[in-house]
Amino acid sequence: MSRIGRKPVPLPNGVTALIDGRTVTVKGPKGEMSRTFHPELTLALEENAVVVRRPSDESRHKALHGLTRTLVANMVDGVTKGFAKSLEIQGVGYKAEPKPFGVQLVVGFSHPVPYHAPKGIKISVDNNVLVKVEGVDKELVGQVAAELRAIRPPEPYKGKGIRYVGEQVRRKAGKTAQAAK
């Protein structure tokens, strides 16, 4: 069996799970999440833990087994602790402003770029250059952070743009004047 898939997902205090066929709904202090899983796998609630079982040892069932267990574990983590990604903006005059709909970015274009946050995502701005994306859905938090970064990815010559906190940007040498022959 899959090493990851065979582990039950424990439900901490204050977290409840409801399994309805192939749909799992998890409720916790930070919110509620629901997700529908592959019909060939069976999910069960045993001893305050969610258990995932697969029908056979086919390679695709093994892959789905580990994936499903990890997705359920991420749902439980999301409703208890939540997920966050941080981005930093580098460049002269580049900044972010929090707005009721999400965030507005000034990143070297002729106009400010508004970003409307999807439901369930909270975007906060610290010191005009640090943007923090928070939510209960790990997949959605990562997607929003990637979309924000894609507005102005870091360029390799001066490093200006939006990057993840701690991301290393490979820098290139610029043009150099050639000596006269």
Residue 119, pLDDT > 90, answer yes
CA 28, CA 11: separation in Å to the nearest integer?
10
Mean confidence (pLDDT) of the chain? 93
In the predicted structure, residue 134 carries a pLDDT above the cut 70: yes
Look at the block and give the residue holding tokens 């359920």.
72
- φ, ψ for residue 47, nearest 5 deg: 50, 50
Provide the pLDDT for residue 48: 93
Sequence-distant (6+) residues with CB within 8 A of 44 are 19, 50, 51, 53
Q: Distance between CA atoms of 112 and 132, rounded to whole angstroms?
A: 19
d(C-alpha 110, C-alpha 88), whole Å: 21
Predicted pLDDT at 58: 92
Region 72-91: mean pLDDT is 96
How many Å apart are CA 108 and CA 50, to the nearest integer? 48
pLDDT of residue 175: 84
pLDDT in tens, 43-55: 999 999 999 999 9
